[in-house]
Amino acid sequence: MKKTIQFLFALLLLPAIAQAQNASTVYPNNPVSIVVTYAPGGLGDVLARRLAEKLSQRTKQSFVVENKPGATGALGTRYVAKSKADGYILLMGQTGEMVINPLVSKDLGYETVKDFKPIALIGEVPLILVSPGNSSYKTLPEFIKLAKSRPGSMTYASSGSATPGHLAAAELSQSMGVDLIHAPYKGAGQAMTDLLGGHVDIFFSSAPAVIPQIESKNLKALAVSSDKRMAVLPDVHTVAEDGIKGFNFTLWGGIFTPTGTPDSVVNYLNQEINEVLRDPSFINQLEKDGILIRGNSLADFGDFIKRETSKYTKLLKTIDLKGE
């Protein structure tokens, strides 16, 4: 009789036990980190912070941004690749560390396809070629004319060697036949500081970091890197309009998680992120910075990365990076 009572009591407890077990596995039930592999100030940082705010509101759990700059994005990317695959440490991966770095370096400590699952593409922006507000040149042709008259004396900043901004400027220099000096920095924020101080002459920057400075006249917009003009800068020519046919660079950012993260977590994050990307207030906020909202399925994001890899593979064959 005693054993029967114990058995019946255990049956009564099963739903509560199951509920407790389910509660312990609900994601997210702890703070989630989004790692940005560059210093504050660039596209990835802007996207990560605004996404983290919206995800925190939606999930009632903290999403926090961690900046881990160094080694042209490789330091933070390695950190995430080696992290526990449970969805609590995510990567705001960008063009440089996810596509370009693996093409130019053999010892990164990570492999994009092997070590990461792509979750969702967040946004994409053209690069804006900017100069100090007090510079004597107002357009790209004016800058090129001046640079040709002073070979080897004009400089361009980048947020690191072999980053999209570096490659865009290198192609510009090569295609226009001008001798420009490359000044690589550890992040967009440091490059911007020296540009504003007049220590470098031009910089291909992501739109969010420079549009406020352009509006306040601290910087001049010489050209944009996309094949079409930007709605927020309708009077600024494309590089293609000013002499380099087919010139088209954009910078993008998307969320990745280490390979091995449960499909349930990956699918949940993709769904929640796409909901954020449909939020009118989020769209409004990013469009003011010239960011084109993307959002897509897991498969779509994977295909996008393959296309980007193909594009930069071809581009790197035409640009000599020796000595950079």
**Per-domain residue ranges of the chain:** 31-125+250-318, 126-224
Instruction: Give the pLDDT band (50/70/90) at residue 1.
Output: low
Predicted pLDDT of residue 321: 63
Residue that the structure tokens 């003009």 belong to: 229
- What CATH class has 126-224? alpha beta
Closest by Cα among 132, 177, 125, 138 to 156: 132
Predicted pLDDT of residue 258: 98
> What is the value of pTM for the model shown?
0.74
pLDDT at 287 over 50: yes
The whole-angstrom separation of Cα 132 and Cα 223 is: 14
The whole-angstrom separation of Cα 43 and Cα 164 is: 12
The whole-angstrom separation of Cα 32 and Cα 90 is: 8
Question: How many C-beta atoms surround the C-beta of residue 280 within 10 A?
Answer: 7
3-class state of residue 158 by DSSP: strand
**DSSP structure string for 65-125:** EEE---GGGHHHHHHHHTS-SSSSEEEEEEHIIIIIHHHH-S--S--HHHHEEEEEEEEEE
Q: Are strands 154-158 and 180-184 parallel, antiparallel or unpaired?
A: parallel
3-state helix, strand, coil in the chain (%, to 5): 45, 20, 30
Residue 293's φ and ψ, nearest 5 degrees, are -75, 135
pLDDT at 18 over 60: no
Ranges 67-76, 84-93, 159-168, 296-305: which has the least confidence? 159-168
Calculate mean pLDDT across residues 174-194: 90
pLDDT at 25 over 90: no
Predicted pLDDT of residue 195: 96
3-class state of residue 4 by DSSP: helix
Instruction: Give the pLDDT band (50/70/90) at residue 304.
Output: very high
| Cβ 99 vs Cβ 65: under 8 Å | no
| Cβ 72 vs Cβ 162: under 8 Å | yes
Residue that the structure tokens 């995800």 belong to: 55
Predicted pLDDT of residue 320: 64
Predicted pLDDT of residue 125: 86
Instruction: Give the pLDDT band (50/70/90) at residue 41.
Output: confident
**Residue 14 class from Cβ within 10 Å (0-12 exposed, 13-18 middle, 19+ buried)?**
exposed
Instruction: Give the pLDDT band (50/70/90) at residue 235.
Output: very high
pLDDT at 220 over 70: yes
| Cβ 52 vs Cβ 34: under 8 Å | yes
pLDDT at 27 over 80: yes
**Residue 194 class from Cβ within 10 Å (0-12 exposed, 13-18 middle, 19+ buried)?**
middle
Predicted pLDDT of residue 63: 98
Is 126-224 in the same CATH topology as 31-125+250-318? yes
Q: Are strands 89-94 and 63-67 parallel, antiparallel or unpaired?
A: unpaired
Predicted pLDDT of residue 4: 52
Residue of higher predicted confidence among 45 and 317: 45
Residue of higher predicted confidence among 249 and 136: 136
The whole-angstrom separation of Cα 262 and Cα 280 is: 30
Mark residue 298 as left, alpha or beta (left: phi above 0; alpha: psi -120 to 50; beta: remaining): alpha
Residue 289's φ and ψ, nearest 5 degrees, are -95, 5
How far is CA 21 from its chain centroid?
37
Which helix (H) or strand (E) segment holds residue 280: the answer is helix 280-287
Give me 150's structure tokens.
């002073």
Predicted pLDDT of residue 17: 40
The whole-angstrom separation of Cα 236 and Cα 139 is: 8
CATH fourth-level superfamily of 31-125+250-318 = Bordetella uptake gene, domain 1 (3.40.190.150)
Q: What is the pLDDT of residues 241-285, one digit of tens each?
A: 998 988 888 889 999 999 999 999 999 999 999 999 999 999 988
Predicted pLDDT of residue 197: 95
Q: Quote the mean pLDDT of the chain.
A: 88
Give the total residue count for the chain: 324
Which helix (H) or strand (E) segment holds residue 292: the answer is strand 292-293
